[in-house]
Structure 1
């Protein structure tokens, strides 16, 4: 599992100008089963996405396709972790330690 942390690198007005494209990209990743949660940080200086996948390179490729990243209005920090414990609703995403 992956935590994708977005930090805005441009004024929020530039971010907002790309928001519709970003939401379309988010919707595509939810439909593909990659994203399971997302939202703005508070204070609003970026966002956080919870993603599932076994391949870090694939997650990095998905992040690079975000219109925010493509237009240089955010930077991504991607953290991989092994979700060995979850809420019952997230049980399908539980992982075993290697």
Structure 2
């Protein structure tokens, strides 16, 4: 499992012009069953995505295609989690 941090970067003022592409990229990640949760980092620091079902290499390739990353609206950081405990509702993440 991974967490992707998308922190605003040098071109953050360009976010509105890339929002449609970024939202389409997010939709594809959810449609593919790879993204589990996405949302904003507060206060207005960027975004984060919880990811399951992708190798690090697959995720790196996917993140590199985010229009926000391509346009340097955000800098991406991928954190890997070796989950060992979970609430019963999230036990599927331990497999």
TM-score (norm 1): 0.87
SS of 1:18 mapped into structure 2: helix
Give me the whole-angstrom Cα distance separating, in 2, the residues matched to 1:45 and 1:23.
Answer: 17
TM-score (norm 2): 0.89
Count the aligned residue pairs. 95
Larger RCO: Structure 1 or Structure 2 (Cα < 8 Å, ≥ 6 residues apart)? 2
In structure 1, the gaps of 5 or more residues are none
Q: Equivalent residue for 1:57?
A: 57
- 1:63-87 deviations in Å (ceiling 9; x for gaps): 1010101111111111101122223
Give me the whole-angstrom Cα distance separating, in 2, the residues matched to 1:25 and 1:65.
Answer: 8
Shift of 1:12: 4.1
Q: Equivalent residue for 2:19?
A: 19
SS of 1:40 mapped into structure 2: strand
SS of 2:25 mapped into structure 1: helix
SS of 2:10 mapped into structure 1: coil
